[in-house]
Amino acid sequence: MKTRIFTLVALFIFAGITTAFAQEKRIDADASTITWTGYKVTGQHEGTIDFKGGALEFKDGKLIGGTFTINMATINVTDLKGGGKAKLEGHLKSDDFFGVEKYPDAILNFRKVVETDDNVYRVAADLTIKGNKSPITFDIEVENNSAEAKLKVDRTKYGIKYGSASFFDGLKDKAINDEFDLNVELKF
């Protein structure tokens, strides 16, 4: 009888301790998506890029952290076909832009998470692209086993200055906006 009571007490204590610790939920990298949109004076281009992996961290059902790795070699242009598609993908992977041979991964690490509404959080994170780390802030909405976020990234903070009117004069209609958009859908 004493053994049974001791076992029950130990189980309750263990259950209480485990709920106090954070729970990591790994993303399903194949089911999660990142779409990007880059802008230029004469229009825009769109595409996708794949996750290598990542996880969100929860405590008592609330988001408290996260870290993600993006496979830069998977940059894909979806609004062009044929030679134009291959040319732009090659250029985006080159040293002019993301230098994927030398920098195959981009990394996002959450630093601070604040709940702003039910299941909506403001995230302050560090984003590392091309070996350069810079802070970024965005909102993420978490529901059931999924999450969505929209990020606006200033590429010049990561040493990507090609075609930037902020650094080069006389580009006229060849200028490329410094900022690009990422729309992220996570499944875990």
For the ranges 3-12, 46-55, 145-154, which has the lowest average pLDDT?
A: 3-12
The overall average pLDDT reported for the chain is 92
Find out whether 29 and 54 touch, Cβ atoms under 8 Å: yes
The pLDDT tens digits for 70-111 are 999 999 999 999 999 999 999 999 999 999 999 999 999 999
Inform me whether the pLDDT recorded for 9 exceeds 70: no
Find out whether 49 and 36 touch, Cβ atoms under 8 Å: yes
What pLDDT score does 162 carry?
Answer: 96
Q: Helices in the chain by DSSP H: which ranges?
A: 2-20, 82-93
Inform me whether the pLDDT recorded for 10 exceeds 80: no
CATH number (3.40.50.970, 2.40.128.110, 1.10.10.10, 3.40.190.10) of 22-187 reads 2.40.128.110
What pLDDT score does 21 carry?
Answer: 83
The pLDDT of 27-34, averaged and rounded, is 98
The pLDDT tens digits for 102-157 are 999 999 999 999 999 999 999 999 999 999 999 999 999 999 999 999 999 999 99
Alpha carbons 164 and 39: distance in angstroms, whole number: 11
- Residue from 63, 69, 79, 76 nearest 22 by CA: 63
